[in-house]
Structure 1
């Protein structure tokens, strides 16, 4: 392939577009894929890998993104529930302590709780944001989510809630 640089650039742009779309649905997944893309491109720019290798890595990343789409179906979770599940799953000790079934239940309950309590301007109003933060922490404590990582999980869940609530507001 004579235009390897062009192929790398095209793949990068396509993947960036896909990541941008994901960012509106699943913050954790988008962040993870963006980091993987950035690392691959950085290695290529630093001449640590050849164009052919980076093209293979980018194709593998695209396949991984497709697999991530199927993951929700395999777990029996909706797209929204999977987004909250991913937010909770970033904590390895939570996965080990609670297990997949409990994390799925927490994710389902978080979707219901957040959906019931978000308003259009909730992210700007600190009192509403604080109320939602308390509700999220209450759900996490109810299921015994590890306290050492509870604050980070709460922040990630609220970040995810901001993204999804925009979609919910548009759909309403």
Structure 2
């Protein structure tokens, strides 16, 4: 639009410039609306075409033509050649970009919260970051990216409901995931045993050990670790000594990072 306007200004004050005034004005109106649409949630093509039509109506009569009297020639503007589908596609694309950015922002906020509550969800973080990187690198267009985001959103919603299906709270699920990942093979009875250990551990810690400022004193830190070791000792036999020691350390670090006290933690 800027280039068209510069060319138009360059041939002024030649009277022949009048032949191009309508096209120039139409292009400027369309360009302005496309730019403005980048800051709007919805693209209303009818509003744009309304302004375009106002420009055209000034020069187009019932026979869809206008006359530049000073030129002595008649110039026909063929409305049938205006590609309304292409114009609509421009605004559809702009709306998709807005919706994609909005969805990406919402998913990012939700993902940050879920990952903070349960670090075992790092795979979701990695997948989301790869989606963003691939899109920014041009590996997929906005339509494919939108479909991928929708699919990712569904998987995140399923993950958010996983605790309900396992009959565990969000904080119990975090402990359960630390104990059972990655890929520890268990039968149904063993899984239930691990769930019970997860529930018992948090119940005991919150009732007896996670006092205010427990992280600041060696004595209270030691009592938390002792409770963890004693409770995890009730895990199924598949948790051999090396695995048991590893899980004790991981659970302690999780409790240390997550719980300032029994009532002050990231789950409250």
Partner residue of 2:107 out of 7, 12, 15 = 15
**In the aligned structure 2, how far is the partner of 1:148 from the partner of 1:25?**
26
| Mapped pair 1:71 → 2:162 | yes
RCO comparison, higher one (Cα < 8 Å, 6+): 1
Q: Is the 1:12–1:37 Cα contact (8 Å) retained in structure 2?
A: no
Q: After superposition, where does 1:43-54 map in structure 2 within 5 Å?
A: 43-54=134-145
Which residue number corresponds to residue 157 of structure 1? 251
| Mapped pair 1:83 → 2:177 | no
Partner residue of 2:183 out of 86, 92, 96 = 92
Structure possessing the higher radius of gyration over alpha carbons: 2
Matched positions, count: 170
CA separation of 1:168 and 1:21: change in aligned 2, threshold 3 A = farther
Which residue number corresponds to residue 242 of structure 2? 148
Greater fraction helix: 1
**In the aligned structure 1, how far is the partner of 2:98 from the partner of 2:250?**
36
Tell me the TM-score normalized by structure 1.
0.77
Deviations 1:36-91 (A, max 9, x none): 21122122223333332332222222212221222222112222212211222223
CA separation of 1:157 and 1:2: change in aligned 2, threshold 3 A = same
Which residue number corresponds to residue 42 of structure 2? none
**In the aligned structure 2, how far is the partner of 1:147 from the partner of 1:57?**
42
**In the aligned structure 2, how far is the partner of 1:114 from the partner of 1:156?**
15
Give unmatched runs, 5+ long, in structure 2: 1-91
TM-superposed CA distance for 1:151, in Å, is 4.3
Q: After superposition, where does 1:97-116 map in structure 2 within 5 Å?
A: 99-115=190-206, 116=208
- SS of alignment partner, residue 173 of structure 2: helix
Instruction: Give the aligned CA root-mean-square deviation in angstroms.
Output: 2.9
Which residue number corresponds to residue 57 of structure 1? 148
TM-superposed CA distance for 1:163, in Å, is 5.4
**In the aligned structure 1, how far is the partner of 2:256 from the partner of 2:161?**
24
Tell me the TM-score normalized by structure 2.
0.53
**In the aligned structure 1, how far is the partner of 2:245 from the partner of 2:134?**
34
